[in-house]
Structure 1
Amino acid sequence: MLRWSVHLEGGPRRVNHAAVAVGHKVYSFGGYCSGEDYETLRQIDVHVFNTVSLRWMKLPPVRTGGHERVREVPYMRYGHTAVLLDDIIYLWGGRNDTEGACNVLYAFDINSHRWFTPKISGTVPGARDGHSSCVLWKSMYIFGGYEQLADCFSNDIHKLDTTTMVWSLINARGTPARWRDFHSATIIGTKMFVFGGRADRFGPFHSNNEIYCNKIKVFDTETNCWLNTPSTQPLPEGRRSHSAFSYNGELYIFGGYNARLDRHFNDLWKFNPEAFSWEKVEPKGKGPCPRRRQCCCMVGDRIILFGGTSPCPEQGMGDEFNLMDHSDLYILDFSKYSCHYLFRVCVCGLTQRHRDRMGLAVPSGIPCGTRLHVPVARAFALFISEHMVEQP
């Protein structure tokens, strides 16, 4: 049974950021926050969330003197993507209010926390934001986005082979997905599943006639072909700036926004690629409010979802220009034993005196120091210890 098991406040307030799971940590890069200065050029910030201690940490700025030059560190941006390959996080694309969009490939070493710019060749994609990135084997696939130079939506697929650091434009066969930005693309097996995004009714150029497709498009990376796919009811509403992830061979989407409906979402849908069918999922617990532009990462059997933007409470569910940015974090737990995880967290939140009084030992794998309100933690730990059963 799916359950929203943890809700935390006080993280980085970000929208349109990019995040990658590395072991039990989540690395978050850049993003946008209302009220901050994006006119002044500065290096991108990096926040790290520890899913064991449930704490955020901001990495110190990179020193750009000596052999580490300024150009090797990406500037602050939003609408970019980041993927993990081996011990390197590759960050690509995005834009800044001063510099515009970017097509430089940046690499972040997770061991040394140093940036560098790999030497690349081939057909480099044009600068853009709102694209998608996903990984298969040793390659990164870029799809769609809004291209700055052409001033239009894209439906090209570019591939970066990280063994040779060569970019290539894929000559895809079949009927391609429409030009779009702020969609999702998720690898399951050897296929890329594209959902949602913002497109224009009349073609690649933006004419303020936005459409939001709610049909899955599938690209086969083995044949380089777009596949013809059926559509079966029910279908989620079309949307952009949602989150997508795969778990046990199925695709999930959460949240997003549809401007034609002027509506933000906080629904969760599951797509079965074998049956090609959708199912709306209703997790237990209290989940996030309707939002878009959030990030989510899979860590073990848990989804870490954080940030994003929502309508101000007094404005209703839409209202494009009255938004509030979030600094919260939610955990969606797929495990049958999510209560065990909560119990461990609560025990660590207690002082040693309270643990001794209750006869509770510090669970292995979670360091002490996670500060919870003691009466709440004590009551919850006792309740869970008495009701520690597998969820149905």
Structure 2
Amino acid sequence: MPWTVRLEGGPRRVNHAAVAVHEKIFSFGGYCTGDDYKLKRPMDVHVLNTVNYRWNAVKTPDISSPQYYLIPYQRYGHTAVVQNDLVFIWGGRNDEAACNVLFCFDTTNHMWSQPKVCGDIPGARDGHSACVINNCMYVFGGYEEDTDQFSQDVHMLDLKTMEWRHLKIKGEPPSYRDFHSATAIGSYMYIFGGRGNQSGPHHSRDEVYCDQIVFLDTRGQRWHRPSVTGFRPLGRRSHSAFTYKGSLFVFGGFNGILQKHYNDLLRYDPENCRWSVVRPRGHGPCARRRQSCCVIGDRVFLFGGTSPHPDPNLNSANQQRDDYPGLEPIEARLMDHNDLFVLDFAPSLKTISLTNVIKHKLNVEALPESIRFEIRAMTLPNSVTKPLNNAG
């Protein structure tokens, strides 16, 4: 499997949330170092056409439009899940407060709504996870605003009745954590990674990075801890997780104890409870965290995130969002990304040929226009954001 596309110029975003809908990817919110996230302003939405690899921003309604007041405020650490053509945004925060209002974005007409919900609504939080299983959105963990502590609870929103329930799950739950991943495979929700603390639900400087995989059987309402074999990945947070043909894949992330970013690709086989390392061909992403990954067909689209700056003399703005709530901001040499990478699990002969033409910079004048169009799409940078040295 090769990395087939690498393009700059997309939305420069960190800790955003994204979903795939048909042939498009919708990216919601996130932050970019240097921007103001104290004032409430409408969340931005960017759409990637996965045929021509072009990004476009969804136009924000005018302040005089009723739609303007239905849009969630710009945030990070939120989740997005898709049900049919509807995307549900929940949780997240800006630099002032977290949120627990449910928002819905219709991908067919780009209209926002705030569905009326009932039941036991979970408290505002960020750094949680969410996935859809059997028409229900399951939310796990995160950092709760009101209690000022990590969570290990499971909440479920029935997307048909819009009723929230706080589930009482049997078995030993995953430890208190935030910025982990939750991935649905069948009726199971697999939890991996995240940042916890030696003090359990309370935050301090004694971080814990769990390397165990735990899954929730949503039918039996029980946690399970499989005995795994093979390669044992190091604990990490702010990684990406996705499924392909029944396997769970993990990319990147960050371990705060080791102060290490990753760009490895790991595979977990739930049938055999076995981890392995995947080594794609080609030029892949640099080590990073808080990127997004979406799967369409045999292709994985990875974009955004943040990583150590290649120039150690350049400091980004303080990264308070990367530290525990209540602690002083820290100066970090980090760089936010606006790039897009495509990983193809099953490249066609045509795709392999195109990538070799690009790699070896072959003359394309004699090729049909349709082929030259595809080569241009695979190599022409986007123009949603400027290069980093020109960014504000």
**Alignment-derived partner of residue 343 in structure 2:** 332
Which letter does structure 1 place at the counterpart of 2:351? Answer: H
**Residue equivalent to 1:53:** 52
1:131 and 2:128 are equivalent in the alignment: yes
**What residue number does 2:226 align with?**
229
Answer yes or no: is 1:42 the counterpart of 2:53. Answer: no
Read off the aligned partner of 1:89 and give its amino acid letter: V
Distance 1:241 1:368, change over 3 A: closer
1:246 aligned to 2:246? no
Query: How much does 1:189 deviate?
Result: 1.3
What do residues 198-246 of structure 1 show as CA deviations (whole Å, max 9, x unaligned)?
0011211102110101110111001010013213342111000000001
* Contact map agreement 2:6 2:340 (CA 8 A) in 1: yes
CA–CA distance in 2 between the matches of 1:341 and 1:44?
A: 38
Q: What is the rounded CA distance, in whole Å, between the counterparts of 1:344 and 1:16 in structure 2?
A: 30
AA of the residue aligned to 1:160: L
Q: Which amino acid aligns with 2:242?
A: F
| Residue matched to 1:88 | 86
Q: How has the CA–CA distance of structure 1 residues 281 and 129 changed in structure 2, closer, same or farther, with 3 Å as cutoff?
A: same
- What secondary structure does 1:340 align onto? helix
Greater RCO, CA 8 A, separation 6+: 2
Q: Secondary structure at the match of 2:130?
A: strand
1:370 pairs with 2:377: yes
1:311 positional shift: 0.6
One-letter code aligned to 2:269: N
Q: Does the aligned pair in 2 maintain the 1:62–1:114 contact within 8 Å?
A: no
Q: Secondary structure at the match of 1:362?
A: helix
* Alpha-carbon distance change, 217 to 320 in structure 1, aligned in 2, over 3 angstroms: farther
User: In structure 1, the residue corresponding to 2:354 is in which secondary structure?
Assistant: helix
How big is the shift at 1:153?
0.4
State the AA in 2 paired with 1:41. Answer: K
Structure 1 residues 190 and 184: CA distance shift in structure 2, 3 A: same
**Residue in structure 2 matching 1:295, options 292, 313, 317:** 292
Partners of 1:122 and 1:168 lie apart in 2 by: 6
Identity of aligned residues (%): 49
* Cα pair 1:311 1:320 within 8 Å, conserved: no
Deviations 1:69-124 (A, max 9, x none): 61x210000000101101210000000113x1000000001111010000110111
Give the equivalent residue in structure 1 for 2:102. 105
Q: Name structure 1 gaps, 5 residues minimum.
A: 348-353, 374-392
Partners of 2:229 and 2:379 in 1: how far apart? 46
Question: Structure 1 residues 62, 345: closer, same or farther in 2, change over 3 A?
Answer: farther
TM-score, normalisation: structure 1: 0.87
> Any idea what SS the aligned residue of 2:377 has?
coil
Q: Deviations over 1:317-374 (max 9, x none)?
A: xx97110100001001101416427739989xxxxxx97x51525269x78973847x
What TM-score does the superposition give when structure 2 sets the normalisation length?
0.87
2:54 is aligned with 1:76:
no
Partner residue of 1:19? Answer: 18
Residue correspondences, number: 362
